[in-house]
Amino acid sequence: MNLQEMKDMQEIYNEIKDELTAPFPKGTVQLNESKDIASIPVQAYIKRLEKVAGVFWSWKLVGDPVIYEKESQVQVKGVLKILGAEREGIGFANFQVYEDTLKIKNLKNAVLSAESDALRKACDKFQMGWKDLAPYRKWGDNPAVNLSTHQERPQNVQDVSPEKCAKCSKYLTQEELQFLNDHQIKIKYCKNDIPPHLLKKRS
């Protein structure tokens, strides 16, 4: 590829990226029942990729799913490619186990959920959804991020981090992350899903 071709590709990429990172339609951001967790469904990201990037984007899983039996969780890794740019995403999802046989009973669905989570995280690395989620994130006020959202942070939404609970996949609040750090709990859990034995072990 010569210099002119590289410049042409960069120009096309910049045009695509500007459209990819544009705000989503009003109402795209979803809040959970307690209104303290904000997220964008993976379908919105896929539709945006299809509409804007078309044949210039692809998504590929990397390696086999990793199963964490003790945490009842599966991990999936994938790579999102747009033209020549690639971003990796790692996703997690919970699964259930039959009590009598200890066999996993919804692994296929868990893998699909983890893949969706991985794709969302890869999209995040392309800065997709930043303008929509900034009002719900502490980093949204950071001048280095330089987002002009012109929106006030909702008072009923806590500051949440990009980290997710290893069990329920909800985004963790800054307070929860600090609690885990204070108790030297390495696996990311929300306050409702911290295994009792981890708290007893460190009390």
Q: Which domains, ranges and CATH numbers included, belong to the chain? A: 3-157 (3.30.390)
Q: Give the tokens for residue 174.
A: 């800054």
Alpha helices in the chain (DSSP H): 3-20, 42-52, 107-125, 130-133, 174-182, 196-202
pLDDT in tens, 180-199: 888 888 888 888 888 887 77
Q: What is the pLDDT of residues 29-45, one digit of tens each?
A: 998 777 678 899 999 99
Beta strands in 12-84 (DSSP E): 30-31, 38-39, 57-61, 66-68, 73-82
Q: What is the value of pTM for the model shown?
A: 0.72
91: nearest Cα among 127, 52, 56, 123: 123
pLDDT digits (tens, 9 = 90+) for 133-167: 988 888 887 888 877 544 555 555 656 677 778 87
